[in-house]
């Protein structure tokens, strides 16, 4: 029986095309998954009060302790907080004291990005955006306190909408009266944002 060389040639060509197509699908999926895994994770610790001598408040320490707890080598830490009458009137930015606190607990100079010298929560997001330049390759883990979380999400989800973000809202361990005062402040601030929008 004569061999049909045309048929064999077409069959071989079909196999080659199928193999090439499968390779493209595989490597496309592999590259996509690799890119996701290779995203740089940045732990963003939002600022809170310190004394005129630079002593960090319990709220500040709770956020920094959580950062230290989850930090793994290869991640970067971005600390926010410059100066403001409500949280820091010392001679150094709030973020300086946060960095000092974490370095005493084992983090190294190379683990930190530059400070976001912000004045308030909206300014946190604006200055973080100015420091970070690659939203597709960066995952943000925003560390704040339980009472502050809803407002942070509202602000950051708008200003940093191009970033993959997760939120860690640390228990503040405040007494009931302090917590109630802060929650009332947050509720008022959230309502103002919803009514008037964000200005930045």
**Tens-place pLDDT, residues 129-155:** 999 999 999 999 999 999 999 999 999
- How many structural domains compose the chain? 2
For 185-200, what is the mean pLDDT? 96
Mean pLDDT value of segment 1-28: 57
**pLDDT class of 177 with cuts at 50, 70, 90:** very high
The answer to whether 141 and 168 have CB atoms below 8 angstroms apart is yes
Residues 13, 110 share a domain: no
Are residue 15 and residue 32 in the same domain, yes or no?
Answer: yes
Structure tokens at 67: 């950062």
The reported pLDDT for the residue numbered 35 is 47
pLDDT score at 16: 62
Cα separation, 127 vs 115, in Å, equals 9
Residue 104 and residue 11 in one domain: no
What was the pLDDT predicted at 23? 46
Q: Are residues 77 and 136 in the same domain?
A: yes
Query: pLDDT at residue 18 above 80?
Result: no
19 and 100 in a single domain? The answer is: no
Closest by Cα among 30, 14, 44 to 129: 44
pLDDT score, position 31:
47
What's 94's domain CATH number? 3.40.50.620
Does 15 share its domain with 94? no
Q: Are residues 9 and 77 in the same domain?
A: no
- 138 CB neighbour count, 10 Å cutoff: 18
188 and 93 both lie in a single domain: yes
pTM of the complete model: 0.82
Q: What is the pLDDT of residue 19?
A: 54
Residue 28 and residue 47 share a domain: no
Contact 170, 61 (CB under 8 A): no
Instruction: With residue 12 as reference, give the H or E element that holds it.
Output: helix 5-37
Residues 47 and 33 in one domain: no
**Token pair for 186:** 């947050």
Of 29, 41, 63, 22, which is closest to residue 138 (Cα–Cα)? 41
- pLDDT at 4 exceeding the cut of 60: no
Per-residue confidence band for 168, with pLDDT thresholds at 50, 70 and 90: very high
127 shares its domain with 162? yes
Q: Across all residues in the chain, what is the average pLDDT?
A: 89
Residues 18 and 95 in one domain: no
User: pLDDT per residue over 86-97, tens digit each?
Assistant: 999 999 999 999
Statement: residue 123 has pLDDT above 60:
yes
Return the bridge partners of 56, or none.
Answer: 50
Going by pLDDT thresholds of 50, 70 and 90, the confidence category of residue 57 is very high
Host domain of residue 3: 1-38
């Amino acid at each position: 029986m004569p061999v049909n060389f045309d048929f064999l040639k077409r069959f071989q060509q079909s196999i080659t095309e199928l193999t090439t197509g499968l390779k493209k699908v595989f490597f496309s999926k592999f590259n996509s998954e690799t890119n996701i895994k290779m995203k740089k994770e940045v732990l963003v610790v939002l600022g809170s009060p310190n004394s005129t001598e630079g002593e960090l408040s319990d709220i500040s320490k709770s956020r920094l302790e959580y950062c230290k707890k989850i930090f793994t080598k290869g991640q970067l830490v971005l600390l926010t907080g410059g100066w403001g009458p409500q949280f820091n009137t010392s001679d150094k930015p709030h973020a300086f004291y946060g960095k000092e606190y974490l370095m005493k607990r084992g983090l190294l100079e190379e683990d930190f990005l530059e400070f976001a010298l912000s004045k308030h929560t909206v300014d946190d997001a604006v200055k973080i955006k100015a420091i970070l330049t690659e939203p597709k390759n960066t995952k943000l883990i925003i560390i704040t306190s339980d009472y502050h979380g809803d407002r942070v999400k509202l602000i950051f989800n708008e200003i940093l909408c191009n970033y993959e973000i997760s939120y860690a809202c640390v228990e503040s361990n405040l007494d009931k009266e302090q917590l109630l005062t802060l929650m009332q402040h947050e509720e008022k601030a959230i309502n103002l944002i919803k009514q008037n929008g964000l200005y930045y």
